[in-house]
């Protein structure tokens, strides 16, 4: 049997793989995509981004959490509800995304191969599914977009049905009354908020003193207060040394910390970071060496140490977000085939955190500006003083803008509150355009909207500057 030959072979169908394959195919390249999982879309569509965010929205809707604040109405959930009761919408969204990915690839005439891809040599990938004879594919260019998987620390017995990593937590059959979430990073904090909204008593355990220290400290502190309002018990500076699971599957799990803290809970979610999916690739045959946690090192065009082999998405590590992964895949393939479509990544990328409330940011924090010795001016606008904020019942939301003191160009935007991940984009675009207070002061925003927060925050900064 002849070995199929392609311009591009992509390994992995998550955002980086899908967008990379679609970009090359749109410009007439012959493309093959290899996916080992039955469903297309990677973790973004199947176990991570969309499922978890959809469950969050379902939790907010069915718990009546928003309604309680807005109308004083308590729509408390049935205590015997199961997780499956909340997954109908999640399943619809997930299935729709899988169909969208498949249709995108079909439209580009991308050949799909089901199985695990691994290198035979720098230009050859073999696809094995354990049933059919292996298939060899050759290509001029190869894109590795295999994503990542949760790290499973040895302190936890993941074979027990009460202990979960972040990829399997949505498979819990019964909504627990108590849960310990180990790790207060983005994933851990998001799930902690969702399960708390569903009425679960949540203990969030983390070794650090500050919640998500990459955030602006003011926003981090506001988020910690929000966790308190959800009755999440945040245990700081704690390290889990042992997790005990009895043979009685109806008994509680015991979590033991180095400080002596002991927690007894029905379910445990471990969110201890992720490692790149590279172990099955046989990278040595391609001449590519992975770094710590399997991360692949790339240059600004997403080339590995072997120039015709590219890598994008979670497999190359930070920031490991669906949006950035998709952009990386596009940029990589535009460089690979010299396409005059997208030359580089934007110098500024947004971060969206789907806690309750949402948090989003782009650009500098106060802490980073202080470290650089930069003079800056702060402008703030509270949701509670904004007409749309009052309509939606958000009393604690905040938009914070950081301007350079000299020319009042915008350096950083930070939002906590409803639709934060949407609101942040106005400030991000202003920064990408090199604009600041003048643009935002001149702009006319619809009323009532959360966008109008930018006008208020800008005036606040201009007044602060005038008083200084």
Number of helices (H) and strands (E), helices first, in the chain? Answer: 13, 22
Output the pLDDT for position 76.
55
**For 315-349, b where at least 16 C-beta lie within 10 A, e where not — what string?**
bbbeebbbbbbbbbbbbbbbbbbebeeeeebeeee
Q: Which two tokens stand for residue 209?
A: 């003193």
Count of positions (residues) in the chain: 468
Least Cα distance to 379 among 452, 455, 430 occurs for 455
Kindly give the confidence (pLDDT) of every residue in the chain, 468 residues in length, as a single tens digit, with 9 standing for 90 and above: 567 999 999 999 999 999 999 999 999 999 999 999 887 777 666 666 667 777 777 777 766 665 555 555 455 554 455 566 666 666 777 778 888 888 988 888 999 999 999 999 999 999 998 888 999 999 999 999 999 999 999 999 999 999 999 888 877 878 889 999 999 999 999 999 999 988 899 999 999 999 999 999 999 999 999 999 999 999 999 999 999 998 887 789 999 999 999 999 999 999 999 999 999 999 999 999 999 999 999 999 999 999 999 999 999 998 888 889 999 999 999 999 999 888 888 889 999 999 999 999 999 999 999 999 999 999 999 999 999 999 888 989 999 999 999 999 999 999 999 999 999 999 999 999 999 999 999 999 999 999 999 999 999 999 999 997
> Is the CB of residue 331 less than 8 Å from the CB of residue 339?
no
Please tell me the distance from the alpha carbon of residue 181 to that of residue 150, in angstroms, as a whole number. Answer: 14
Please tell me the distance from the alpha carbon of residue 347 to that of residue 191, in angstroms, as a whole number. Answer: 30
DSSP states along 340-375: TT--S--S---EEE-SSS-EEEEE--HHHHHHHT--
Least Cα distance to 19 among 350, 322, 345 occurs for 322
> Is the CB of residue 267 less than 8 Å from the CB of residue 232?
no
From its phi and psi, is residue 293 left (phi > 0), alpha (psi between -120 and 50) or beta? Answer: left
Least Cα distance to 276 among 261, 286, 288, 265 occurs for 288
β-strand 410-416 against 398-404: which pairing, if any? antiparallel
Question: Going by C-beta distance under 8 Å and a sequence separation of 6 or more, which residues neighbour residue 418?
Answer: 357, 358, 383, 389, 392, 394, 397, 450
**For 51-90, b where at least 16 C-beta lie within 10 A, e where not — what string?**
bbbbbbebbbebbbbbeeeeeeeeeebeeeeebeebbeeb
CB atoms within 10 A of CB 96: 12
Give the mean pLDDT of the chain. Answer: 90
From its phi and psi, is residue 265 left (phi > 0), alpha (psi between -120 and 50) or beta? Answer: beta
Strand partners, 376: 404
CB atoms within 10 A of CB 29: 21
**What pLDDT, in 10s, does the model give residues 425-459?**
999 999 999 999 999 999 999 999 999 999 999 99
Output the pLDDT for position 445.
96
Please tell me the distance from the alpha carbon of residue 125 to that of residue 139, in angstroms, as a whole number. Answer: 8
Sign of CA dihedral 296, 124, 342, 22: negative
Please tell me the distance from the alpha carbon of residue 76 to that of residue 56, in angstroms, as a whole number. Answer: 16
Domains and CATH numbers, the chain: 5-149+275-336 (3.50.50.60), 163-272 (3.50.50.60), 357-467 (3.30.390.30)
> Is the CB of residue 314 less than 8 Å from the CB of residue 43?
yes
Count of CA atoms in the C-beta half-sphere (13 A) of 464: 19
Collapsed DSSP state (helix, strand, coil) of residue 416: strand
Least Cα distance to 14 among 122, 126, 143, 107 occurs for 143
> Is the CB of residue 316 less than 8 Å from the CB of residue 329?
no
Collapsed DSSP state (helix, strand, coil) of residue 29: coil
CB atoms within 10 A of CB 250: 7
Least Cα distance to 92 among 132, 135, 57, 141 occurs for 57
Question: Going by C-beta distance under 8 Å and a sequence separation of 6 or more, which residues neighbour residue 446?
Answer: 452
Collapsed DSSP state (helix, strand, coil) of residue 380: strand
Please tell me the distance from the alpha carbon of residue 286 to that of residue 124, in angstroms, as a whole number. Answer: 8
For the chain, how far is it from start to end, CA to CA, in angstroms? 77
Collapsed DSSP state (helix, strand, coil) of residue 180: strand
């Amino acid at each position: 049997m002849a070995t199929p030959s392609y311009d591009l072979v992509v390994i992995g169908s998550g955002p980086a793989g899908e967008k990379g394959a679609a970009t090359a195919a749109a410009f007439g390249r012959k493309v093959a995509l290899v996916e080992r999982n039955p469903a297309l879309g990677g973790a973004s569509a199947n176990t991570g981004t969309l499922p978890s965010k959809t469950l969050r929205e379902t939790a907010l809707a069915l718990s009546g959490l928003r309604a309680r604040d807005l109308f004083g109405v308590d729509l408390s959930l049935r205590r015997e509800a199961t997780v499956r009761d909340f997954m109908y919408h999640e399943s619809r969204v997930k299935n729709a995304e899988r169909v969208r990915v498949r249709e995108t690839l079909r439209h580009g005439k991308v050949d799909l191969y089901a199985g695990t891809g691994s290198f035979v040599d720098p230009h050859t990938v073999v696809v094995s599914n354990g049933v059919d004879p292996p298939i060899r594919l050759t290509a001029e260019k190869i894109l590795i977009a295999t994503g990542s998987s949760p790290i499973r620390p040895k302190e936890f017995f993941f074979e027990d049905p009460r202990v979960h990593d972040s990829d399997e937590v949505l498979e819990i059959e019964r909504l627990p009354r108590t849960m310990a979430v180990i790790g207060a990073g983005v994933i851990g904090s998001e799930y902690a908020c969702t399960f708390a909204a569903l009425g679960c008593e949540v203990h969030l355990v983390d070794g650090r003193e500050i919640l998500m220290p990459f955030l602006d400290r003011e926003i981090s502190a506001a988020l910690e207060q929000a966790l308190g309002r959800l009755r999440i018990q945040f245990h700081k500076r704690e390290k889990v040394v042992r997790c005990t699971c009895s043979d009685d599957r109806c008994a509680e799990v015991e979590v033991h910390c180095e400080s002596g803290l002991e927690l007894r809970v029905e379910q445990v979610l471990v969110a201890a970071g992720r490692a790149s999916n590279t172990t099955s690739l046989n990278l040595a045959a391609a001449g590519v060496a992975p770094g710590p946690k399997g991360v692949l090192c790339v240059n600004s065009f997403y080339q590995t140490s072997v120039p015709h082999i590219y890598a994008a998405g979670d497999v190359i590590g930070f920031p490991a977000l669906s949006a950035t992964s998709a952009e990386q895949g596009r940029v990589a393939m535009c460089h690979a085939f010299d396409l005059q479509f997208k030359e580089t990544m934007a110098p500024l990328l947004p971060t969206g955190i789907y806690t309750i409330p949402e948090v989003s940011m782009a650009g500098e924090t106060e802490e980073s500006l202080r470290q650089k010795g930069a003079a800056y001016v702060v402008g703030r606008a509270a949701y509670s003083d904004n007409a749309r904020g009052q309509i939606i019942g958000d009393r604690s939301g905040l938009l914070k803008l950081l301007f350079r003191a000299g020319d009042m160009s915008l350096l950083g935007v930070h939002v906590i509150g409803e639709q934060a991940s949407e609101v942040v984009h106005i400030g991000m675009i202003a920064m990408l355009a090199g604009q600041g207070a003048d643009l935002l002061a001149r702009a006319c925003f619809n009323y009532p909207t959360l966008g109008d927060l930018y006008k208020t925050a800008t005036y606040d900064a201009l007044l602060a500057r005038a008083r200084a």
